[in-house]
Structure formats: structure tokens, C-alpha cells
Homo-oligomer: A and B are copies of this chain.
Amino acid sequence: MSTAHGSAPQGARARARIEVTAAIKDQARRQLAAEGAAKLSLRAVARELGMVSSALYRYFPSRDDLLTALIIDAYNSLGESAEAARDTFADAGPGHRWVAVCEALRGWALAHPHEYALIHGSPVPGYSAPETTIPAAARVGEVFFGILRDAHRGLGLAKPSLPAELRPEAERMAADFAPDLPPETVAAFVAAWAQLYGLVGFEVFGQFQRVVEDRERFFRHAVCRLAHGVGLVYPQTGPAAAGG
């Protein structure tokens, strides 16, 4: 919007703005952990930062805009860890990579439970995410579709069964999200995706307390079976076993 000659003072000003913005978001994330998204308050953030509440409005026009920024950051952070896992196992088979990405998602969720709740927990009452969150939200899905595409191009993808009554729906989903994949695969993947988040959510939100103890192994086995369900040929053991 302003000039592009990038003189030093303007650069410094812009840098300061970025730093303060980051500090606000960091503090907000801490508050997210303590009080939850529903109670995120600009005033409390300002107080902890030694600022006055009205100053924050120069950075975020409203509480909801701050929330939106946190959501986008969370999706991007989750997406990055999925992409990193994919790239780390770039030479492994698609089944291997599937498990690695699932484990990365679980690891991220366990490390950032409150941000996980923000994007995959119950909705924040009175808040509706704007469309600007969509690209960040799509990153994880793209990682999975990439793995399925690789498998499809190679020879590692079996077609899941699909009842006739579900075929129209599967074809619509495939047309919308991955026209280069078989409809059976896309439908099975969407179901597996939701189920994956059931496994992660139960663990992160404490429903496995006093139920599952060896959660890491339990999870690996479950996502291996999910991989099988979408048609991926998968290794007997997960990627962690390859390292030890």
C-alpha cells in the first residue's frame, strides 16, 4: 500500500509491528491454554504484556480477528509438521509415509492441545471462522492426497469397496477434491480422516485416560489399519521401528 523504496525507518517500523504482533499472539496462545478460546480476552492479553487494552486494537480490530489469526497459525503449524514428516520419509513407500504423517499429527496435537482444540475441538460459540482460514486448513489434506496420488501412480493402491448407494456421493467428492483419484479412494480417505481425528481427539482430550496406556503403539496400529482401509499397502511396523 505504501511506498516500496524500503528506507530504514520504515523497515524498522514494520519490523517492530511484526514483533509486537507476534508477542500478542504468543501471549494469546498462553491464555488459550489457561482459559480456553471462549474466554480469550484482549484485555487480559494486554495486561500480561504490560500494554493497555486499547493499544491492541491497532493490531487486531477485534477479539475475533485475533482468534482468526491464531486459528490460521495453528493450521499452518499443523500443516508444516505434516509436510515435514512426509519429506522426511520421501523415499519410503506410501504406506510408510501415511503412518509417519499420522504420527506427526498426533505428536503436534499432543504438544499443542489447546491449539488443537481450537481447530478440531468443539466450535467456539458465537465465532464463525472466515474463509481466509481455508487455505491453511487445506494443507494437511493435501499431504494425504499427495501420498495417495503417489500410490495410485505406482502400484500400491487397492480400491476399497464401495456400496452402490454411495457411489454418487463418492464421485462428487472425488470431482471436488481429487479428480485424479478413484472415487472409492476419496470416499474411503474422507472416512479415514475423520476416524484419525477421533483417535487423536480421544487421546488429546483425555478420553483414553484409564483406558489405553500404551498409546503410541495403540495409535500406530490403528493408523496402519486405517491405511489398509484406504487401500494403501503398508509396512508391518511403523516408521519409528525403522530407526531403532
Contacts and interface: CB of A to CB of B under 8 A. Distances in A.
Given A122-B121, A190-B212, A163 B236 contact: yes
Nearest to A172: B213
Given A212-B173, A221-B163, A125 B35 contact: yes
Given A122-B205, A202-B197, A221-B163, A169 B212 contact: yes
Contacts of A195: 194-196, 198-199, 222
A211 interface: yes
Copies per complex?
Answer: 2
Nearest to A33: B125
Interface of A: 34-36, 38-39, 117, 120-126, 162-163, 165-166, 168-169, 172-173, 177, 187, 190-191, 193-199, 201-203, 205-208, 211-214, 217-218, 221-222, 225, 229, 236-237
| Interface-central residue, A122, A202, A218, by most chain B CB under 10 Å | A122
B214 A194 contact: no
Contacts of A120: 205, 207
A229 B192 CA distance: 13
Nearest to A224: B163
Contacts of A124: 36
19 contacts: A34-B125, A36-B122, A36-B126, A39-B125, A117-B123, A120-B207, A123-B205, A163-B237, A166-B221, A169-B212, A169-B213, A190-B211, A194-B198, A194-B203, A195-B196, A195-B222, A196-B198, A198-B199, A225-B229
Contacts of A213: 169, 172
Given A120-B205, A121-B122, A166-B218, 14 more contacts: A39-B39, A121-B121, A122-B205, A123-B206, A165-B237, A169-B213, A169-B214, A172-B213, A173-B212, A190-B211, A193-B202, A194-B198, A194-B202, A201-B201
